[in-house]
Amino acid sequence: MGVKNLRIAAIVAIGIALGACSEDDGAMVRMESGQRFEPEVLTVSVNETVTFVNESRDAHTVTAYEDGLPEGAAYFASGGFESESAARDDLAEGLLSSGDSFEVRFESSGTYRYFCIPHESSGMTGRLVVEE
């Protein structure tokens, strides 16, 4: 009886540790129905990884505005493009289907503006504030 109770206690402790760990794992931006990024503005720390997850039925891109990056910051876009024009020229390659995710690690502080190519005109844009 005593041993059994101990084992249950150990399992509960592991569950709590894992839960805490996944929360610490990094920040998340969800692409939701209604063609928006949630949250629209997210603040993270330098070197933190942000995971963009498509939880909607539509396909979306996560595409940085080239003129919306901090000075000297690396460009990012789903599909791995190195410029906004390349991302716009090959829309299909950058699309994240329902359930897909995309991770970016931010090494420079500052404000990053990004958008979804197919839904830019609907206002599907977001901002990341990366703090020292």
**From the CB of 29, what's the least distance to Cu ion, in Å?**
12
Mark 102-121 with x for binding to Cu ion (rule: CB under 5 A) and - for no binding: --------------x--x--
**From the CB of 84, what's the least distance to Cu ion, in Å?**
16
What's at 30, amino acid-wise?
R
Quote the distance between the C-alpha of residue 39 and its chain's center: 10
Smaller CB distance to Cu ion: residue 32 or 66?
A: 32
Cα dihedral 32→36→37→42 (10° resolution): -130
Between strands 36-38 and 27-32, the pairing is: antiparallel
**From the CB of 101, what's the least distance to Cu ion, in Å?**
14
Task: State which of residues 44, 50, 124, 128 lies at the interface with Cu ion (CB under 5 A).
Answer: 124
* Burial per residue of 33-54, b for 16 or more beta-carbon CB atoms within 10 angstroms, e otherwise: eebbbeeeebebeeebebebbb
- Restricted to residues 26-85, the positions that interact with Cu ion (CB under 5 A) are 60
Smaller CB distance to Cu ion: residue 61 or 69?
A: 61
Smaller CB distance to Cu ion: residue 116 or 128?
A: 116
**From the CB of 113, what's the least distance to Cu ion, in Å?**
15
Closest alpha carbon to 87 in 116, 112, 111: 116
**From the CB of 51, what's the least distance to Cu ion, in Å?**
17
* Binding footprint of Cu ion on the chain (CB under 5 A): 60, 116, 119, 124
